[in-house]
Structures are given as C-alpha cells and as structure tokens.
Structure 1
C-alpha cells in the first residue's frame, strides 16, 4: 500500500482558475498610498468662557488653521470662576506632562507662573517697536526678571459710570475728584427726594474686587498698600468708610460685587458706580432702564493727584512643557496681533491690549465709547507685581473689609497687613 502524501495537490484546472481569480482581484484593489500627509498637529487652547457669541473666536481660530496647513486648534473651555481656573492650571502645569499648548491667564498670575517655571518666555522675535504698542501696565505685569512671559489678549480697568441725565439736569460735569463726587451725590439725592435712589456704588465685599477699588482710592491719594506706613493711604481708606457712614454710599456696598452693583445701577437706582467696562454694553442694551442715560469717566482721585485705575485683563502664555510650543507661539502671536484684537473689540466689545488701537479711527467710529476709555487704559496700573500677589491679596482682603465695615481703623488694618506681608516676602 502506497504512502499517503503529506500535501495534497489541486488538480491543474482548479489551480489555474484560482490563480487567475487572485490576479484579477489584486488588479481591482487600490494601490497603497505612500505619499499621504501626516495627521494634523492639534494645538489645545485652554481659556475661560468669553462673553458674547462663541462663534466669533471659533471663526478666528479656523482662519488661523487655514493660514497654517497641518495645524488644528481645539478650544477647551474652563469654568468662569477665576479661582477654579487658577486651581486647574496649578495642578496641571506642575505635572511632568501638560495636556494643552496655550492658556489664557489673569494678569495677576503671570509672575507666579513664571517664577514656578510653568510658562516660558515669549519675547523672542518680538521687536521693541511692536512691544511698545502694548498697554504699558499690561507689559509690566507680564515681565519677570527682564523677560516677557505673556502677551496681553484683552485688558480691563476700573471706570466711573454716571447718570448723565441726572448730572445734566442739575448742571454738573462728571467729577474728577472724590470730594466733587461726594458734593454732586449729596446735591442730587437732596433734590431728587427719591427714597429708592442711591448715591455711589462700588465693590466692598471681602474679595479681590475690594483690593482693586482700594488701590484706586489709595493710589489716587499718592499712597500705597505695601511698604512703610503712609498717611496718604490711611486717609484714602478712611474716606471709603466715610462714604458709607455719611450714606453717600449705601451700607450694602460692604457686601457688594460687580454684578450686584451693576444690577442696581442698571435699574436706574444710583447716581454713580465704579465698575469694569464690561458693564457698558449690558447697560446700553435694548430694554435697559438706563440706556442712553449714562456716561463713562476715569475713576476720581483726590485733589492734587492723578486718577490711577486698577488694571485687569487676560494674557496669553505658553506652558514650559507644551506639547507643540512652536505652533502655540504662532497662535499666541496671532491672537495678540493688532488685527485680531481689533476684531475682538468690534465683534465682542473686548478692550484691546494694544494702546495704538485706541486711536484707530475706524474702531472709534464703530465703538465711540472707546474714546472715553483711552485715558483710562493708558493710566491703568497693575496690582503689586510679584509672584506672591495671591498670598498678599488674601492678607489684604480681610484687613480692607474690616476698615469699610468699621471694625478697624485704617492705621490698624495696614499695620496688621504689613506685618503679615513682610513674613510672606521674607522681609527682615
């Protein structure tokens, strides 16, 4: 009996047919594409929610992508709370890998982030002439050890809102000094005899907004909140308490923030309000009781001194360990450019971080109220520029609050604050 073969062979006709079928199938398959483009570089942009139509910024990012083939920008929106944003950044930037490429930072965070090594310098390739087009106070906030670690995206500054209709009715011009504001407030309240009408609203709650307001009073008297004792600063804080005691400001300002004051002023129930420029478009919106009845002016100062608004706003920075730092810096320069900041001002009402735009005729024609903000932005001064600012603010807030509610004298509050701040800064 013959052995059984280990491999069975197909009969020749079947083998030939199978070979032809395989060749036919192979001829129908597409050829492998060895020249296909690589996947796009995804640049992740972290920022807080912007007011207005979100499609405006999305559209600008799509235009950036068109100008940078192979790059895709993905927005990741953080909670609106600045405290939550700061916590998110502090946790993620400290890690070995960072899951984003560009971030929007509050002006008061840049020093802290730069000192910690969380963000990288962005001044390479930025010539001095272009650097000087940015708002000076914003650049000061973004500079750490002679290097620029962020670029202004949009800025803010404290302003005085006033009831233009009431001032015109009684022949008053917008006040330039705090005593003038007090005199006008008292006169209008006496003449109106309206129990629902309040005088001057401001943010006196124990939070960051109170530090901003106090700095405007103190600096507008030639004083400061840090360093050696100064009678000017104490007098300015005492004046804030006097406004409440004399009922030129209602007692609830000691618990009020921006929105609380905006709603009351917007209801037509106050003569003056200190707030940020964001409130303007809301107060002038269709259906607002004060639409067409209000004006903007620099925050007052004390006689013999200049107005010194407190600077606010947001910057753009690149993490030290950004996955795509070159593309991130391209996006940063694009968003901080004059053309894009102008469009954000036109379409969303954000204040440009470039001072030259406040003289742009087409922008002022479209947004005439920006003309009143030009001197405000140019005079604006940042909060103390130090990596330890957040710790300093946590010291100042309760001390300032104790003054405005009448629990401490200005002298006692500042002495206590200086003692604590000296420990933070390691002063002898």
Structure 2
C-alpha cells in the first residue's frame, strides 16, 4: 500500500515509487531534497529513477528525465514492465526527456536553466560519471550551479552516479558533491554462497530519521523492490563479505556434528558452533533474554515462549501453510502469541497414567478411567500381590511447578475450573475442595502412596515404576522412553493411558507441555539463524533426529504413523489419544506463572500436613485474587525474580536489588511480600534450593561444592535450610534420586 503525501513535522513527503524505500526514510523523501544514488553499473540505479518518475506522473506531477548516457527514449523502451504509458505523459507535457552526452556534462547547466523556466516537481539526472580520483575535492562550477538551481526551484531530484570503488563512500569521500546533496543511497552487487544479489543502504538523509540497515534489492516484473535486511554476512559492502556465525543452544541426540556438517555443505558461508545447553531450561531462557546474547537458536518450553514473546524478546517467524497438516494443532498454537508465530514445535507431551499391564491382565482387570476405579483396582492388586515393596499409586506432589500443573489436572478432571469468567477464585469453589481432598486422601486415607512422598524428589516416583514397584503412576511419557530403551523385563509389562476423571462425563484434560525452537530478537544474524531453522525443520532431517533420540512425543503428526518410528517406539501409538484434551494454562489464565507459584506453595503445605483444607482454600483464593487487584505491581515482582534467578550464586543484598529496580528497599520488600506471600530472601532461598536439587543429581559435586555453587559458604547452614524446605538432608535427597 502506498504512503500518501503527508506532512511529517514541518516537512512534506513524496513517495519514491520503490516498494520499501519510503519506509526506510520514515515516510518517503522530503520534498525539494536532492538524493544521490551511487553504485557500479548493473545495480538498477536507472530503476530507482524511473520508478521515482512513474510515481510522480501518476500523481499528476511535472517530471523531467535527463540522461547523460544514452537516449532517454531507448531507456524507456527497455522498461515497459513498469506498466506506464510514457508516450501519453510526454504528449501531455507532463514528462520532458532530454539527452546530454557524457562528454558534454557542462551543457547540463544550460539545459537545466532552460527547462526550469517551467514548473517542475521531479527531476532525474541519470549517469553523472563523477565519482573517482580526478576531482575528489572540487566540483565543476557549472555542476554546482545546476544543483543550486534545483534547490532554488524547490524541485525534488534524484541523481545517479557510477562508483569507482566500494570503500570510502563508493569513491565519494571528501567530495564536495556530498555536501550539496541531501540524501545518499549506495547500491552494490555482491557474490556470496555461489549466488549474486544486490544490496543497498542509506548513508545520509537530511532532516529525517532513516533506517540504517543494509537491505536486499529485488528486480521483478513489477519493478525494483526492497526485500528486507541482509543479516547473514559481515562487511557486506566490502569486496570480500565475511561469513556469519550462529550459536546453537540445542540438543540433537548426539548428532550435532552431523547436522552442522550437512548444513555447512549447503551454506558454506555460515559458521555454526555448538553452545552448552543449560542443565535447566531456565538457563536457556536467561541466555535468550541477554541483550548481548551469542545464542542464535535455542530450545524453550512452550510456557517460556509465551512469556518471552509477550516481552518482545523473540523474533517473529514465517508461518508455513503446511503447519496445519504437519504439527499437532495444540503445539503450533502454543508457539503463537497474538496470532504471530515465535517458535517451531519440536516435541509435545503431557502427563499420563502409566500402569502395570501384566498385573491388570493377571487379575482380569480393565484400565481404570475414573478415580474410583483406580482406587479399587490398586487396592485389589496390592491385596492379592502381598508384596510389601509394591506401591499402589503415585502422582507428582513434591514442592514445585509440577505440583501446580497436577493440581490443575485433578481440578479439570473433576469438571472444575480455577477461576470464574471474571478471573476470580472463591474459597467456596466445591471442585477445588474435592480436588484437594482427593489428592490428600490418596496418600493418607487410601494409603496408596508413601506418607512422606511429598519430600521425595520427582525421580523417586519414576524410578519405582521403572523397577516395577508401582502399579500406577502419573508421570511424563519420558518414563516410557527410558523403559523402552532398556533391556529390563519390565519393558513388556507396562503401558500408558489418559488420566482418570471424576466420572465418565468429565474429560481427561491435561496440561500441555513441550518445547519449541526459537530465535532471540537480539541475535546478531537472524537471517542465518532462520536458514538453520528451516534446514532443521525439514521433515527428513527431523525424522533422522527423532530416530536417533527424540522426546516423547514428537510434535510432527506424520511421525506418529511412521512404521519405522513406531517399531522403535510403539508407545507413540497412544499419543493422539493422550493429547486429545490438552490445555495451555499459560495462555488461558492470566499471570499463570505467578499463580502457579501460589498453587504449589499452598497445596504442598496442605499435603505435608502444615495447613488444613479450609485454610488452604482461603489462602489460595486470597493469593490469586490479590494478583488481579494489584496487577500493576506484577512487573516489578517479575523483574525482581529475574534478577535473583541470574544472581543467586552471589551474596545479594536488599540494597543492591532496590538500586537495580529503582524502588525504596522497604517499599520493594513490602510489594514483593504482598504479591507473593514471601519475602525477597524467602524467594531467593527457594531458587537456591531448586538449583541445588539439580546439582545434587550430578555426582561430580560433593555437598560442599553444591552449597558453594548456590551461594552458601557454610555447609552446615545449607544442610539445615535444605532439610527445612524439603524434609530431607542433601545426602538423603541424593540417595533417593
């Protein structure tokens, strides 16, 4: 769509006629300015001029075309693709054509003086062969007079000139011509990666802001257009453009070198290097947030994609028409924010009910669909097996975000919702009460779970099932992946099903989980990053990665029907059934990342016996409703959390945080306590404990080293804190992993 003539501040603007160029000048050329276009032969300088004239003629302006190279009539005859009847405009005296031979440059002054006696709006002076060393510091007097006359008559002019070299303003550095023109555009034809393409940039623009990016030019049947930034190479205007570099914070199942080699065969001018993938996805998120990030592509959870896209930290990606048939709709939707795509789905999964298929078959029992059926079936098997080591059922109930999502799944399976249509939560919400009570009763009333399970690490639950010591377990399908890869006898004895519900009228809703590949907004070479993303997204490349490793389940629908993949991973047959009713609370529920923290804080206390049911309902409702009432403070809280998450290893003071956030220390502490129910340093301790849990999984670090890495020099104090928050010592936690 064309930009109409307008007044921008005190300046009237004119359209250039070149798609994309008006935007680079923030609204078109300022009227009555002179623009110089410098470049070698064959870079479409003439097209700039002719499209500039066409735009003026279509606006009923008077135009003049002066050529110093060849007869203008011949030039026009080779540009009929512009779809304008030049002859009609000439006959109507709207367009004047003049030819002045290159050897008679001095005659330009006479010609211009003559034609400027008439009213002229636009003028193109084509083929000024002036760049070079012959007259670096001095202009012919008559040419200076021409330019001054054009300015005096307030004509908007465009002049093209041949460049001698690529450096120093294309041979125009220190040339007086630069002082006389208002705008300077340079154009060049380059060869990279066995392809030739044209690029341009604005080096000078008087009286206006302008886009400083180097842009790619394209000549098609509709004329010259600007395609967008060239962001794949260093020093693009030099004679030897350097390769771009992209850093991959991705996991390829041990095939990183293979994929990089294949990519470099196709794009030898792009250097690809592997970056360390963080032990937690928070590390990836912090790398993407870094304004000086060296990461070009990274994995993020769908919840992180939603948060960072809303914060403007991810690059928008091109949507493919094939996405609908290629990906789970829920996966591609999780990568969209406000209708725009910010990630390419890599995997998709959800919690499911895994069970001992052999034990159900042994006693002629069907797979339970409701909670009542599950309780009865688990109790019956425990009674008949008489195995004191066998556990009836387990679900994730340790303190953390997993507990929040599990609570939501219990609630949805009861036919309930967390909030009403206005976003409020009521302590009298019966479904919340029923869900909490069921979670409690499974542990303490029905005694299907160990009473102290809430303090065990998440890995305890998975390990017991892998050992065949649990009849039922709610967990992620990666447990099935690990069992499937092993040679253990349990491999043929287990299967998976949707989560139980209250009754058969309820739907087995699950929290959508998974990861997508993203490009940080601040990455240095987004064009090169996009190339690698498209390469990696190729169906055959993705299939190779899936067969090598893959995380259950793949987001690509064709893989769930691929015979080779199914032979390797037969449990993929259940994926569509398990994901039939997946929901994304991060998109559905405003501020769910903060609400999630309140859920697991209160639910964990309830399951640990530190709060009763009535207290838990009231505290949960108060915490969540508080967010709605005081949402103006939530950005402050998020900034504080982010700062502590990246600085938890150091000794942080309240004074330091208040200086960074720019709020009074006491006021900041009150806001944080009011919004989260905990002090700043309670939250810091929580971050450090969660980090220490991750480190305890790595046997290379002893307890003292773990304490040091999370900011505690005193190992005794660290151990006391750890036990206070988890119920077990660091050594006991490591033993149970």
Distance 2:563 2:630 in 1: 49
Q: CA deviation at 1:144?
A: 1.7
Q: In structure 2, what is the equivalent of residue 126 of structure 1?
A: 320
**TM-aligned CA distance change 1:136 to 1:215, over 3 Å:** farther
Q: In structure 2, what is the equivalent of residue 376 of structure 1?
A: 578
2:319–2:341 CA contact under 8 A, matched in 1: no
2:499–2:508 CA contact under 8 A, matched in 1: yes
Matched, 1:324 2:519: no
> Paired residue for 1:117, among 302, 312, 325?
312
2:356–2:494 CA contact under 8 A, matched in 1: yes
1:157–1:312 CA contact under 8 A, matched in 2: yes
Task: Name the SS of the counterpart of 2:583 in structure 1.
Answer: coil
**TM-aligned CA distance change 1:63 to 1:388, over 3 Å:** farther
Distance 1:111 1:390 in 2: 11
1:266–1:290 CA contact under 8 A, matched in 2: yes
Q: Superposition pairs for residues 16-415 of structure 1, below 5 Å?
A: 38-47=241-250, 53-54=253-254, 56-90=255-289, 92=290, 95=291, 97-122=292-317, 124-127=318-321, 129-131=322-324, 133-226=326-419, 227=423, 228-229=425-426, 230-245=429-444, 246-288=446-488, 290-303=490-503, 304-350=505-551, 351-385=553-587, 388-410=591-613, 412-415=615-618
| Deviation by residue 1:86-129 (Cα, 9 ceiling, x = unmatched) | 34444x1xx2x33221121111111221122111211x3422x4
**TM-aligned CA distance change 1:37 to 1:374, over 3 Å:** farther
Distance 1:136 1:403 in 2: 36
1:202–1:256 CA contact under 8 A, matched in 2: no
Distance 1:419 1:211 in 2: 16
Distance 1:379 1:345 in 2: 24
Distance 1:383 1:346 in 2: 31
Q: CA deviation at 1:414?
A: 4.2
2:287–2:293 CA contact under 8 A, matched in 1: no
Distance 1:340 1:421 in 2: 44
**TM-aligned CA distance change 1:299 to 1:70, over 3 Å:** same
Distance 2:357 2:391 in 1: 15
**TM-aligned CA distance change 1:184 to 1:317, over 3 Å:** same
State TM-score, norm by structure 1. 0.82
2:389–2:469 CA contact under 8 A, matched in 1: yes
Cα RMSD (Å): 2.5
By relative contact order (CA 8 Å, sep 6+), the higher-ranking structure is 1
* Ranges in structure 2 where 5+ consecutive residues have no aligned partner: 1-237, 632-737
Distance 1:132 1:418 in 2: 41
| Deviation by residue 1:236-293 (Cα, 9 ceiling, x = unmatched) | 2211111001201222332244311111112221111111111113223445352321
Q: CA deviation at 1:161?
A: 1.2
Distance 1:76 1:397 in 2: 33
1:268–1:289 CA contact under 8 A, matched in 2: no
Pick the structure with greater CA Rg: 2
Q: CA deviation at 1:418?
A: 3.6
More displaced, 306-315 or 285-294?
Answer: 285-294
**TM-aligned CA distance change 1:410 to 1:41, over 3 Å:** farther
Q: CA deviation at 1:406?
A: 3.5
Q: CA deviation at 1:135?
A: 2.0
Q: CA deviation at 1:232?
A: 2.1
2:288–2:295 CA contact under 8 A, matched in 1: no
Q: In structure 2, what is the equivalent of residue 30 of structure 1?
A: none
**TM-aligned CA distance change 1:388 to 1:189, over 3 Å:** same
* Ranges in structure 1 where 5+ consecutive residues have no aligned partner: 1-34
| Deviation by residue 1:24-73 (Cα, 9 ceiling, x = unmatched) | xxxxxxxxxxx9964432111123x56xx42x243223222223332232
State TM-score, norm by structure 2. 0.49
Distance 2:547 2:257 in 1: 15
1:112–1:387 CA contact under 8 A, matched in 2: no
**TM-aligned CA distance change 1:142 to 1:425, over 3 Å:** farther
**TM-aligned CA distance change 1:400 to 1:344, over 3 Å:** farther
